[in-house]
Structure 1
């Protein structure tokens, strides 16, 4: 009975986290081993293929009854061929049993060996993009699972564009993007194999205006309690304003990035975007605002849109066709609406006194979204209007201009032999179909 009890002790248990489906040029996972009796004496990771294979890791150990180790497999160094294989984890403990247990791996996972990185061909791109401006990159991807255009620390998603692996990515560079920073298309496949290609787009410098804003006591007395209802009564008004102008401004930027995930996988817009009629521009994109209180400078912030004014509570039209991605309070922008136009392109409407749409509503170009107002950190009745690409604010002037769209968006598509977007192409090309597809999730929605 005693010997039977010793023999019945279970073997070492192995878990692979996450269990890989592919082994590529570099594949990393974690192996967790647990011994029911005794201590783990040895661990080995192998790739078995067609009667042969390779040992990836051999690790004598006296780690106790539990071992957790990270394993990285460099697939090209193992002499394996592409195709089916098995990942095996072998382990034994030092617990004595009367009879040797039948050799069997503690874990066995079917995998596919894939050592071929994706292929990227850049077909065309906007020739030059200015700071705070937009453009497009068109490329063909083969053997890849996902691809994006990288601009410094930013990554812009790409979307399918017809047959043959063609993809498009709209890009939008921040106002302070550094010229000389490379733009690249980066792709990877399910095996983790990666590839990248440079984008032949020149980034140009653009100069922006500055403005000086004097904070009146009456303005602070109105806006600080409105935007910070939880503020202690003893807190100075200026401290409350700085909290709004800095922290709540950052929260609004985070909301823009969340809204960017709710974009269609095809173009929803038609033609140039429209500016509300009979409006006067009294604040420009990327103005550096210096705030003064009591005769001294207290803060600096960059204004990321256009301020457009007409008469009080004037109608606010949708700049183009799309679907409402956000509608509700947005800190410094007050009551706000974000309309998605597809492919990561969106427009924001802030300081509204009222909104007549809700998230998920389809809207037409020119359809009333709401009325202008003074909600948020507004000093007077006006519309704060932004154009965004994947949550990055860019100048609206470009997308108001049909010629700019033809030259900087549609022309690269034509050079790549693809249909144009949004019906803005010259008449000779009007017969071409537009890029279309089913609305889908943002390619990075699960990673944000």
Structure 2
């Protein structure tokens, strides 16, 4: 049953109950029955008073990306479910997520229920069909629920079921992060199915104004339904000791090199992928004058599923090291150890680029770097300008012809000006705390959290 029909039926039931109470009360007054009979009428009418509905209908958040998988979407799904569960007192929130690897224990302490499904968590046909089967199998529960399709995987599964109307949640929310808008629009069949899905949605959300504009340009059906629910710092960031006051002069360099002669550290955190721009950052640092190259170390934290790209990076790193630049591949750094990696850095760099139909929709990692007081160097692409404020929390360079030289100039400017690094870092700390997951959950789920 759709949301509008459910509202009409509820109103009709309320009118019917109220009318029945009035009618029985009138008959009891006029019938001349003994007092005992009248008492029975009164007793019968008492339970007919409308009880308040629960403050929140069941919420199902569906995703193909969830812990232990890492990344912006996995973090988004975890934090939105957490915020909704805390607002609802731990009631009625369930996350559907891919199965764990054999022998891998479930993480303890979720404030919401987690249902692990037998799928790998990709967007291929097998995973779509697996999710679709569960949507059909649980259709009766979902018809009375708020269902949040939090990323493209479950959206693609729901598209498969549209011809049969077997997936009809009472309310459906779609969240678009950026790249999936371009991918959906590029495929004629998916584009048609996505339009139908958007028309059926109760609410649609994006994390950035950029993603909202892109969505409405590609899918005008979303206009009037889109709300902005921005990302925020991960829960427990401060409790885990990954937050910081301004670092002391002895910890973070006050000049071109530390008092102990250590190199200034430029850090990138993110999977090794062409879209993340590690190659562009490495090339820009390698183009610094020799005197600067010998004072800088570039560190990359992250793993890859593209061994060819990692091989290219390592070859470029060898050439740069021959010219005096130090380069380190940190590999997979657990969340609990990222704080130390940020604390040892002087500048954060993530120079994302367009790669096929993939674009940087926001970048939660920029907020984490800013929370540590790191000035940021990034490309002005996608929704990055909403995560990094040019000249306030970092320096942005628009990619294009000649952008490599501009990127090198941005690094040189920060490397040579400790006061600028401190100013941008301090502004970043305040900016990183501006948004909260609780506020975004209330915007997205609306009166269901009241």
Q: TM-score range by the shorter chain?
A: under 0.3
The TM-score normalised by the length of structure 2 is 0.22
Higher strand proportion: 1
The TM-score normalised by the length of structure 1 is 0.22
The higher radius of gyration belongs to 1
Higher helix proportion: 2
